[in-house]
Structure 1
Amino acid sequence: MEHAMFTIFKECFPNLPINEEVFKKLIEDERNHYIRKCEKDELIGYSIVKDNHIMLLCVIPSHQNKGIGKELVKESEAFIKQNGFDTVVLGAMDSNLFLGAVIEEKDWEEKHHAFFESCGYHNTGNFVEMQMSLKDVNVEELPVNLNPENITFGYCTDEEKSNLYEAVAQVDEEWVQYFKGNGSFYVAKEENEIIGFTALSFDDITLQSTGFNKVGNIGCVGVIPSKRKYGLGLTMVARSIAELKKHGVEIGYIHFTHLESWYAKLGYRTFCRFWFGSKELVIND
């Protein structure tokens, strides 16, 4: 059945390079519940539900616009309601696949998703996923100052973690959790004070993974408020690209961002747009 699910997924999202092995890894979660629609024993559509999230909904293109998608939404909502939840969310922040409902650029700009709005969902935000081939990137040629005066760069040491947490909290307190524990945290320092930071990963399973390439992520890029507007953020990203290349990364990945034009200055391009949506369920007494 997973093979049939992958076949439909590729027909719905032909521009994504993932192969069947990667797809199976991305949907792998013991909490996932599968709702399927078949015609003459052939799978024509399905949804994946986890807790109160609709993680994925696909209908084979030849059977779209026939009400099958709405049937899958209703059955997903019924299952979610049956399990005690009063809200349905499209996608999830911890999803290995889609964070929200995939949408075309025009509708994304208007924050409009005709299908899910017709099912009673309202918009709660828009974000994009971006990628860049690093093979032919010459970091020295990127339009940034790689060596700003009095700034040093390197990986955060254990002794510097408390300083790192303070800097991250100045940017976004919710980000501090992502810098706890082990990880590769690249930082910018001025007089031994951390003023910029990002979290790097060098071999992720993502929507840009083919099963044969190496994908690396640059996430939670931040500069403390007092040091902004000097281009340090882009310098952090450019230097991080150099770090990815050192680790043999072929595809640079930016996960869950609204800074589309900012990352584009260095060559990143959007390949997927998400419409975040939710719906309150009526719970009968």
Structure 2
Amino acid sequence: MITYRSYQYGDEVQIVKLWNRSLPKDPITSNRFRNLVLLDANFDPKGLCLAFDGENLVGCVYGIRRLLPMIGTELEEENGWITYFFVDPDYQNQGIGLTLMQEVERFFQENNRKAVFFASYAPNYILPGIDEDTYQGGYQFLQKQGFQKLYSPVAMDRNLLDYQVTDEIKQLKEEREAEGYTFSIAENKDLYDVIQFANNVFNPDWGRAIREGLKEVLPMERVLIARHHEQLVGFCLYGGYEGIPERFGPFGVDPNQQGKGLGKLLLHECLFQMKAEGLHNAWFLWTGEKSPAGYLYLKTGFEITRRFHVMKKDI
């Protein structure tokens, strides 16, 4: 007989074990699970819905809502997120996933949520959405539960073994520098500007990633900035998410400065720094394939390695 309940202390051991059995292409360690789930300021045990056969965990769906604002007082009080779900391969097609989804929907409805997303949660998403190629059954399951595709970000990777700065990039940098632009490694005096720029021009999660990364795992020399006559106009970094050195981003340039190649220059500055540090690859999980950034990455030698679908269901 299958029984259902929410998370209790100690369940994480079975959750990690079943996760790696059910999602072998995206395994997780106990430390990553602790950091991304249990230590998340928005973690609520009631949203972590579990299915058991006797004492054995056989299924899991994790729903989360915002308890701590990303910035200001905004709690996105109408939204909830599901960041992962899985059922033991030996127990699939028995309605366990459906019941778990009903349990997590009840959690959201009790907390007055009107929309549920898979899986565009910040700050601690596992993947940006469902990878249809890897998890075709999971994608079809979400569709059957009433989730609809919103958009499809892509992950990209670039091998750095053949990377070198071209004469074109060197010339472009000289031209911009003659116009008063500077490109440098961030210093303490730059941090307030960088974090506010990331928050206000782009995404509060980017500002959080920079701030928390520098406090915990991110060396200052991995944060690069561009200024024009002292005005901050762009930044990029690597190693900020989970302290993984080869993970690139976030990265942004003032929209009012577009068309001058500043993003291209910052990207190349960053890739050069990564290679100089001895890294062999650069990768990230989330960009728009047909966005300006997406085109820039492709022109710079990045290749699309995964596609995801961000899904939404109105409840």
Give the TM interval when normalised to the shorter protein. Answer: 0.7 to 0.9
What residue number does 1:188 align with?
A: 226
SS of the residue 2:153 aligns to: strand
What residue number does 1:87 align with?
A: 115
What residue number does 1:140 align with?
A: 165
Kindly tell me: are residues 194 and 44 of structure 1, through their superposed partners in 2, closer, same or farther at Cα, counting changes over 3 Å?
A: same
Aligned length: 265
1:231-242 correspondence to structure 2 within 5 Å: 231-242=261-272
Contact 1:219 1:255 in 2 (8 A): no
- TM-score where L is the length of structure 2: 0.67
What residue number does 1:264 align with?
A: 298
Structure 1: gaps of 5 or more residues:
none
User: C-alpha deviations, 1:207-258, integer Å up to 9, x for none?
Assistant: xx6xxxx444321332544541x54423321211222344555553324211
- Residue from 217, 225, 249 that aligns with 2:248: 217
CA deviation after TM superposition for structure 1 residue 155, in Å? 3.2
Between the aligned residues of both structures, percent identity stands at 17
Q: Which residue type is aligned with residue 249 of structure 2?
A: I
Q: CA RMSD in A?
A: 3.7
User: C-alpha deviations, 1:259-284, integer Å up to 9, x for none?
Assistant: 44542333434444332222222xxx
CA deviation after TM superposition for structure 1 residue 192, in Å? 5.4
Q: What is the rounded CA distance, in whole Å, between the counterparts of 1:263 and 1:22 in structure 2?
A: 28
Q: What is the rounded CA distance, in whole Å, between the counterparts of 1:122 and 1:46 in structure 2?
A: 21
2:75 paired with 1:61: no
Q: Which residue type is aligned with residue 200 of structure 1?
A: L
- TM-score where L is the length of structure 1: 0.73
Contact 2:60 2:87 in 1 (8 A): yes
1:114-129 correspondence to structure 2 within 5 Å: 114-129=140-155
Q: What is the rounded CA distance, in whole Å, between the counterparts of 1:26 and 1:163 in structure 2?
A: 27
Q: What is the rounded CA distance, in whole Å, between the counterparts of 2:276 and 2:84 in structure 1?
A: 35
CA deviation after TM superposition for structure 1 residue 35, in Å? 1.0
Greater strand content: 1
Q: Which residue type is aligned with residue 253 of structure 1?
A: W
Kindly tell me: are residues 66 and 269 of structure 1, through their superposed partners in 2, closer, same or farther at Cα, counting changes over 3 Å?
A: farther
Kindly tell me: are residues 179 and 84 of structure 1, through their superposed partners in 2, closer, same or farther at Cα, counting changes over 3 Å?
A: closer
CA deviation after TM superposition for structure 1 residue 121, in Å? 1.7
Kindly tell me: are residues 245 and 216 of structure 1, through their superposed partners in 2, closer, same or farther at Cα, counting changes over 3 Å?
A: farther
Q: Which residue type is aligned with residue 127 of structure 2?
A: F
Contact 2:23 2:86 in 1 (8 A): no
Contact 1:200 1:217 in 2 (8 A): yes
2:16 paired with 1:6: yes
Q: What is the rounded CA distance, in whole Å, between the counterparts of 2:33 and 2:162 in structure 1?
A: 28
Contact 1:11 1:60 in 2 (8 A): yes
What residue number does 1:275 align with?
A: 309
SS of the residue 1:9 aligns to: helix
Q: What is the rounded CA distance, in whole Å, between the counterparts of 2:35 and 2:206 in structure 1?
A: 22
Contact 2:159 2:280 in 1 (8 A): yes
Greater helix content: 2
